[in-house]
A and B are shown apart, each in its own frame.
Chain A
Amino acid sequence: MRRFLASALFLSSALPVLAAESKGGFPPFNASTFAGQLFWLALTFGTLYLLMSRVALPRVGAILAEREATIETSLAQASKAQAAAEAEAQGLEQALAKAKANAQAIAQEARSKSAREIDAKRSTVEKDLAAKMVAAEASINETKTKAMGNVEDIAREAVSAIIEQLSGKAPTAAAVTKAINAARGE
């Protein structure tokens, strides 16, 4: 900056010689133009000052203030909406957790209920089977005894028939029983 000033002073001292042929020397130092320049400067700068202070600056200031207010309210609204959304999300999460616990309880109950039912069914079936087995065993025993009883009769009849075939004379029942008992008792 200082260098510019220095060069300006140098040039302004050197150049008027060049410009002297055109009228009135170095123009910025030509005092005859001062009054006119001051007059027009006052006029134009005054106009500019009035236009800026009365019209432009209040308007731009109002625009900026309005924008700031708009941004502030929008931000406040946004943060409020965010808080509401967060609360809602929390509520949903709680509801979800509750529903999950509920579902687990229901599943647990259903499981234990079905297990109990199955147990009961199995025990009845087992009891039934046991009873049936006992009955079957009894009937087997009966059949066996009966069959064994029949075997004795058959054997006796067969013995008396064989002896009748062999000797032509039917043995007495007592003799057959005695013989069979003897054979069994051996």
Chain B
Amino acid sequence: MAQPGTIDPIHQFEIQKLVPINLFGFDMSFTNSALWMVIAVAVTTLVMVYGSASRSIVPGRLQSLAEMAYEFVANTLTGVTGREGMKFFPFVFSLFMFVFAANMLGMLPGSFTTTSHIIVTAAFAMLVITVVLVAGIVGHGSHFFGLFVPSGVPGWLLPFMVLIEVVSFVSRPISLSLRLFGNMLAGHIALKVFGAFVAALLGAGAAGILAPLPLLLAVALTALEFLVAFLQAYVFTILTCVYLNDALHPGH
């Protein structure tokens, strides 16, 4: 807990054990992070499963939401990979909905942002790259590695090009995980800092007259953070689609 009057923007990222569980010698406690993962899944399930339960031709509100999410992700996926990408649709859809729900739920005051932990975003990134590698090798065999050999390059340049391609491929999961992690973390820290500014100014006597300034900024940042919460989920999804496209159509 932060002492009164001090700024502790990191406190919100702390993992707290709610139900201690120990499995096979590992600490598998049900934490606040796990709780918000469960809530993200619950909210997504509520919209997608309960919302579509009535199967009406003229949709209600929740069903419209479910259809909107479906069509949004389906259009993003087919726009990048074409029709054959639809076999990855459940995976891409789950990914988008999980990240989006986690980002948005993280905007609730007092909640925990699971995507602000590097291990979560890194796990997603590794999952995406694993799926890409497996799909590519299963679908195209050794042809898949043609991805690293650009065509129309003079022979002496080829080793360098292959090296660059490999490095760019390996850096994909890193950039994918760091981008989401960094955006979530930085946004929440900035919000907390400006919020703490307001409190500090209000407690500082005559300077309290300046308190509305950081408040305004905090309001603007909150709006921006909502945009970022959506945008990062979208960016994560569309990059996943781009990488999947490489697995489906290797060769430049």
Q: A interface vs B, CB < 8 Å?
A: 1, 4-5, 7-9, 11-12, 15-16, 18-19, 22, 26-30, 32-42, 44-45, 47-49, 51-53, 55-57, 59-64, 66-67, 70
Contacts and interface: CB of A to CB of B under 8 A. Distances in A.
Contact of A28 (B28, B45, B117): B117
Interface in B189-246: 189-190, 228
Contact of A63 (B52, B94, B114, B116): B52
Contacts of B30: 40
A75 to B, nearest CB: 14
Tier of interface size on chain B: 35 or more
Contacts of A36: 15, 26-29, 31, 33-34
Interface SS, B side:
helix
B45 to A, nearest CB: 5
Nearest to A5: B182
A67 B64 CA distance: 13
Interface SS, A side:
helix
B10 A19 contact: yes
B90 A28 contact: no
A61 B70 contact: yes
B34 A53 contact: no
Contacts of A45: 37, 41, 94, 98
A56 B189 contact: no
B252 interface: no
A6 to B, nearest CB: 9
B119 interface: yes
B27 to A, nearest CB: 5
Interface string B124-164: 00000000000000000000000000000000000000000
B63 interface: yes
A41 B70 contact: no
A27 B189 CA distance: 13
Given A4-B186, A37-B33, A41-B120, A52 B97 contact: yes
A48 to B, nearest CB: 5
A34 B90 contact: no
A40 B37 contact: yes
A47 B41 contact: yes
Interface in B167-198: 178-179, 181-183, 185-187, 189-190
